[in-house]
Each structure stands twice: as structure tokens, then as C-alpha cells.
């Protein structure tokens, strides 16, 4: 059995679910546009530049979840999926995932975006396993805090290793392991697999991929 890992934002999706979720809440008036839109844009630029403080960002991202009951959040997310996410899902991305699953690979989405936002997206792709940043919950409600290690940069390695260990596996058990990503922030995990693939990469990752002979593909 092989291992196929997929980054989500700007890789399987032709856009960023983190960014779009905040913009969606702003569009509904749940978050104040004047206060939140500039911060959302600033965090997005920091992520692309590789300078994001993940804990500062998660405080921004997760706190709104703690202010609303789960049934209300779930209703918003269903509309978010239909209006913001499905238009970002390309046929090429679906085909790539399907090819690995049909070949019998153990497949997972590995994303810094929290699991509340991303679990329905993983299901849309037919991927059973999700390795994501986990929002803390108490009695079924979100607390606004993060649980465990954020699934970001080196944290992705820790979270993938923990997930595999829970299945009785380790990275070295797989003859071939793929990781598909667009971002310089994923260089640590890309360096751990046998088959790193740059997908519509940012400039830093594209340069790195060319130097090391990694494939560069587009799913757009």
C-alpha cells in the first residue's frame, strides 16, 4: 500500500478555505467588516510570505466559533460549502484524488485549516482521513482555543506521524508516499515523502522544486 497526502488550500482547492470562511462570515454580518477584513487579508499575505504566526492566526480564526451554537455554525457551513467551496473544486483535483484512491493508497488531506471548516470538504473529495488543526471543544461547543499541535509547517509532520501511529503505521512503512502542496510552508513535510509534488506552487516552492527535480503540476 502507498500513501497519498494532499494539502487543501490552493492545492486541491483553487482558493483558500481559511480565507473564504472568514470572508463568508463577514458577508453575513457575523464578523464586522471594518475590523476583520483587513486582518484576514493581512494574515493571508503573511501565510503566502511564510511569516505567519500560527497561534496569532488561530486566535483570530477560532474565536468566532466559540461565540455561536454548533447548529448555527453547521447551517452556515452548509451554505458556505455550496456558495464558496464547490466553485473552487476542479475536475483535475477530483481526478487526482480518485486515481490514488482507486490504486489502493491510504489517502489523507493534511491542512493547517481547522477541522470544522475542512471535514466537509474532505468528504466532498471522498477522502476518509483528515489531518487538520483541531479546535478545542467542551460539551460539544467550541472554546475558541486550539487542541494540540497546530497542523502547520513542522507541525504537519508531527500530526501525520501521530495519525499514522494510530493506524499502526509509520512513514517508512510505505514503498511510495506522495505529498501534493502549493506552499513554501509545506517544505518540511514535502521533504519527508518519497514523491513530493508542487501544485500550482508559490515562487519559493517552485524554485525549490526545480532545483531538486520535483514534479510541478497544475490542477487549475
Domains, in order of start, for the chain: 3-217 (3.40.50.1000)
Percent of the chain with pLDDT over 90: 82
Q: Which of 2, 9, 161, 195 is catalytic?
A: 9
In Å, how far are 26, 97, 126, 186, 195 from 94, measured between CA atoms?
29, 5, 9, 21, 19
Q: Which of 2, 7, 32, 203 is catalytic?
A: 7
Q: Model-level pTM greater than 0.85?
A: yes
> Over the chain, what is the mean pLDDT?
95
Residue 60: per-residue pLDDT: 85
Q: What are phi and psi of 5, to 5 degrees?
A: -110, 140
Mean pLDDT across 140-169: 95
Q: What share of the chain is helix, strand, coil (3-state, %, to 5)?
A: 55, 20, 25
Residue 59: per-residue pLDDT: 86
Coil, strand or helix: which one is 220?
coil
Please report the DSSP string for 121-178 in residue order.
Answer: HHHHTT--EEEEEEEEEETTEEEEEEESS-SSTHHHHHHHHHHHHHTT--GGG-S-EE
Summarised one tens digit per residue, pLDDT across range 97-111 is 999 999 999 999 999
Catalytic site residue 7? yes
Amino acid at each position: 500500500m502507498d500513501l497519498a497526502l494532499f494539502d487543501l488550500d490552493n492545492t486541491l482547492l483553487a482558493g483558500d478555505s481559511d480565507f473564504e470562511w472568514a470572508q463568508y462570515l463577514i458577508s453575513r454580518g457575523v464578523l464586522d467588516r471594518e475590523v476583520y477584513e483587513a486582518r484576514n487579508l493581512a494574515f493571508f499575505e503573511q501565510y503566502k510570505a511564510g511569516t505567519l504566526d500560527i497561534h496569532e492566526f488561530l486566535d483570530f480564526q477560532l474565536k468566532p466559533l466559540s461565540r455561536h451554537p454548533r447548529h448555527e455554525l453547521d447551517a452556515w457551513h452548509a451554505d458556505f460549502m455550496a456558495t464558496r467551496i464547490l466553485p473552487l473544486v476542479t475536475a483535475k483535483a477530483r481526478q487526482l484524488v480518485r486515481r490514488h484512491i482507486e490504486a489502493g493508497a491510504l489517502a489523507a488531506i493534511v491542512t493547517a485549516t481547522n477541522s470544522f471548516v475542512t471535514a466537509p470538504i474532505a468528504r466532498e473529495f471522498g477522502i476518509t482521513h483528515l489531518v487538520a488543526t483541531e479546535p478545542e471543544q467542551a460539551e460539544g461547543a467550541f472554546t475558541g482555543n486550539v487542541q494540540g499541535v497546530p497542523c502547520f509547517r513542522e507541525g504537519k509532520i508531527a500530526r501525520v506521524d501521530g495519525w499514522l501511529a494510530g493506524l499502526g503505521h509509520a512513514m517508512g512503512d510505505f514503498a511510495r508516499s506522495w505529498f501534493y502542496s502549493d506552499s513554501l510552508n509545506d517544505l518540511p513535510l514535502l521533504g519527508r515523502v518519497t514523491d513530493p509534488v508542487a501544485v500550482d506552487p508559490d515562487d519559493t516552492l517552485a524554485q525549490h522544486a526545480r532545483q531538486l527535480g520535483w514534479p510541478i503540476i497544475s490542477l487549475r
